[in-house]
Amino acid sequence: MKQKYTIAKNEEEKTMTISEFAELDKEMLSLLCEQSYDAEKIRQAIPGGVGKVISVLHTVNLYPPRTYAERLAEAVIDLYEGDGDKSSVDVFFDDQVILAEEIEAEEEMLEDLDEDSEDLDELLEDDIEDEFEDSGSIDPVNSPLKIADDESLDVDDET
């Protein structure tokens, strides 16, 4: 699925708005959500870095996955601290491209693991000492609870 986020700041109203669009029909984006933020809270979060901006951006209505949130936070920081007088920026996502990148990263990681497989084999070796096998039987547990010798637990087949 293709998605587009439009981040717009309104200096007069001292707000920032993020609009989320998704391609529900081929080649046509539909508005899914629009979330407004206090510009002052955004400005206060920017010195804290991407993580702090993400925590401000996450709301009940707008809660993108981590990959999207990081790029959105970077776009917000660039919008407020970047060169020029930009009042808005668009951020595009294509799930097919992102999934392909993640698969490629996993394959590279697996290749690295194959190179280090000798170290992994050492971790799997059975080096457990036999001290537990010779400990004998388990002592009975003395429980402070007593079960009543009641006939209510007996079930008769009288029916």
Question: What local confidence, expressed as pLDDT, does residue 3 receive?
Answer: 92
By three-state DSSP, how is residue 15 classified?
strand
State both tokens at 81.
């601290």
Closest CA to 68 of 27, 9, 8, 7: 7
What pLDDT does 35 receive?
A: 95
Residue recorded with tokens 């804290």: 48
Query: What Å distances lie between residue 24 and 68, 71, 94, 121, CA to CA?
Result: 18, 22, 13, 48
pLDDT, position 67: 86
Q: Name the one residue in this structure whose structure tokens are 């996955």.
A: 65
Task: Please state the domain extents for the chain.
Answer: 2-94
- 115 SS3 class: helix
Output the pLDDT for position 156. 59
pLDDT for 19 equals 95
Averaged over successive runs of 10 residues, the pLDDT of the chain (159 residues) comes to 92 94 88 94 94 93 89 93 84 86 84 65 64 60 65 57
Cα 149 from Cα 31, distance rounded (Å): 69
pTM of the model: 0.63
pLDDT for position 118 = 62
